[in-house]
Amino acid sequence: MSKKIIVYKNYESPCQIKIKEVNSFGQGIAVFEDCEVYVEGALEGEEILVEIGAPFANGSKRRPGKIISFIKKSPDRADDFNGLEHPSLYSYGNMTYEASLRKKKSDIVNAVRKAGLSPELVEDVQPCDISKPSRFKSIRHFAVNSGRIINGFYKSRSHDVIEIKESKFEPRWFSDFAIKLCEILSSLNVSVYDEKTGSGELRALFLRDTLEGRLCTLIVSSKVSDDIKEAYLNTAKQFDIDSVYINVNSDKGNRVLGDMTYLAGGAESVELPLCGYKFTAGPHTFLQVNYPVAQKLYETAVSWCGQEKSAVALDLCCGVGTMSLCLAPHFKEVYGLEIVEESIIAAKNNAKLNAVDNVFFDVADITKGLPSYLKDKNIRAIICDPARSGIGDKACLQLCKLKAPLKLAYIFCSLTALSRDLKILCSNGYKVEAVKGFDMFPFSSHVETVVLMSRVER
């Protein structure tokens, strides 16, 4: 049985609207009669003449709006788009930087309110120095344009590649190397992978700069020929790249890295200096992209945990042990727990590299409870830095079994996870003392948020 088509009202252009808020996609939202209008690039408080399009879906009250002209612009508008090469890649790219920080703080405040907590707990967002590179890892996707291979980023909410010739927030060599490699591979008539048909060789290029070393990984759909490998290695050599990898991803999904990675040339890893320690980085190593802001985030979390030489600290979802090592001087023992075995192996190696002997790492799923050997430990501080989805209700309830006094620094990638997990923790013995955002990705809608909590007696 076919679905009934609901007739919608056409509005004669232009329609005058006033933007009431901006969503995480950078769309201004306004109400016009009985519909909600979404306008790309409009800012809160702006009065605009728009053309209102058909509903996004049959029967929906949500409709797109296209700007015809401005009646009143926001003082927060950056008409030059802050010098960004491709403003459409940045949700908040049409705001001044100061306005984007206020917007991110507002986003955090809304999430905190959803958790039933006071907005007064939220501090100003830690800014990034936007005059310098801040993204030290990049994934460039390949595409074909007018018969030549190009590289770039996916357009928002699509897999259409926007060609990148220079990226303001990345080291210059990322773009220069990627462009040169595209030229060489085009001359060799190498094919680009097509997600629809599953045919073609080139998929993506992974780039990392640790300030002390350079690493690249060429992601392909199948084993490459000697000609391609030689061209890739020679180009990498021209750009002084220390560690050169090839990754084979034959999966038809949109996962970037496949299961098979091999060293094509150079060193197995490069070193990253962070918080006074050295960490090894390979093609699969998870590290925060923005080192300067990450260091400030880590310092905030570690400082909150305090110092108690007779006690134990936990680093949950510890990754390769960055914050575990930072905690080590302040506690008798530090235990780093992580569900990904490869990360635990790297964490143990990092402890050895830095001659830290009071840090212990283990593979563990914290949703199933803390390892039994920790139950009699004098745990006084916890740092938790999970993936975007957060640790969830089961793991939160496990943390609620621990006794006071205890300090918890919980780092959130997602404000949705923040609202959900804070409700559980605060209903079961934790008190939020402060909330602070860190601007890892300028002009994007993303914000890393640290919530500082204490376990209170009930």
Quick one: pLDDT at residue 178?
A: 98
Burial of 375: CB neighbours in 10 Å, binned 0-12, 13-18, 19+: exposed
Quick one: pLDDT at residue 3?
A: 67
Give 249-261 as a DSSP string: ---SSS-SS-SEE
SS3 39: strand
Q: Alpha helix locations (H) across 24-131?
A: 97-114
> Which of 216, 318, 396, 413 is labelled catalytic?
413
For residues 100 and 127, give the distance between their C-alpha atoms in angstroms, rounded to a whole number: 10
Percent of the chain exceeding pLDDT 70 equals 99
Q: With 70 as the cut, is the pLDDT of residue 458 above it?
A: no
Mean pLDDT computed over every residue of the chain: 94
Quick one: pLDDT at residue 376?
A: 83
Find the angle CA(48)-CA(54)-CA(57) to the nearest 5 degrees.
120
pLDDT tens-place string over residues 286-338:
899 999 999 999 999 999 999 999 999 999 999 999 999 999 999 999 999 99
Quick one: pLDDT at residue 1?
A: 52
In the predicted model, what is the mean pLDDT of residues 263-284? Answer: 95
Quick one: pLDDT at residue 32?
A: 95
In the predicted model, what is the mean pLDDT of residues 210-234? Answer: 95
pLDDT tens-place string over residues 429-444:
999 999 999 999 999 9
CATH topology of domain 15-72: OB fold (Dihydrolipoamide Acetyltransferase, E2P) (2.40.50)
CATH class of 137-274: mainly beta
pLDDT tens-place string over residues 48-84:
999 999 999 988 999 999 999 999 999 999 999 999 9
Whether 342 and 257 have beta carbons less than 8 Å apart is answered as: no
In the predicted model, what is the mean pLDDT of residues 87-113? Answer: 96
Find the angle CA(90)-CA(15)-CA(86) to the nearest 5 degrees.
15
For residues 328 and 326, give the distance between their C-alpha atoms in angstroms, rounded to a whole number: 6
288 annotated as a binding-site residue: yes
126 annotated as a binding-site residue: no
User: What residues have CB less than 8 Å from 215, skipping those under 6 apart?
Assistant: 207, 208, 209, 241, 242, 243, 244, 245, 269, 270, 281, 282, 283
Q: Is 413 a catalytic residue?
A: yes
Q: With 70 as the cut, is the pLDDT of residue 340 above it?
A: yes
Whether 244 and 264 have beta carbons less than 8 Å apart is answered as: yes
pLDDT tens-place string over residues 387-406:
988 999 999 999 999 999 99
SS3 178: helix
Quick one: pLDDT at residue 9?
A: 85
Nearest to 313 by CA among 344, 298, 335, 297: 335
- The CATH H-level superfamily of 290-455 is Vaccinia Virus protein VP39 (3.40.50.150)
pLDDT tens-place string over residues 120-149:
999 999 999 999 999 999 999 999 999 999
Quick one: pLDDT at residue 375?
A: 84
338 annotated as a binding-site residue: yes
Read off the pLDDT band of 111 (50, 70, 90).
very high
- pTM for this predicted structure: 0.93
Each domain of the chain, given as residue ranges in start order, spans 15-72, 137-274, 290-455
Read off the pLDDT band of 155 (50, 70, 90).
confident
Fold agreement between 15-72 and 290-455: no
For residues 149 and 186, give the distance between their C-alpha atoms in angstroms, rounded to a whole number: 6
Quick one: pLDDT at residue 133?
A: 95
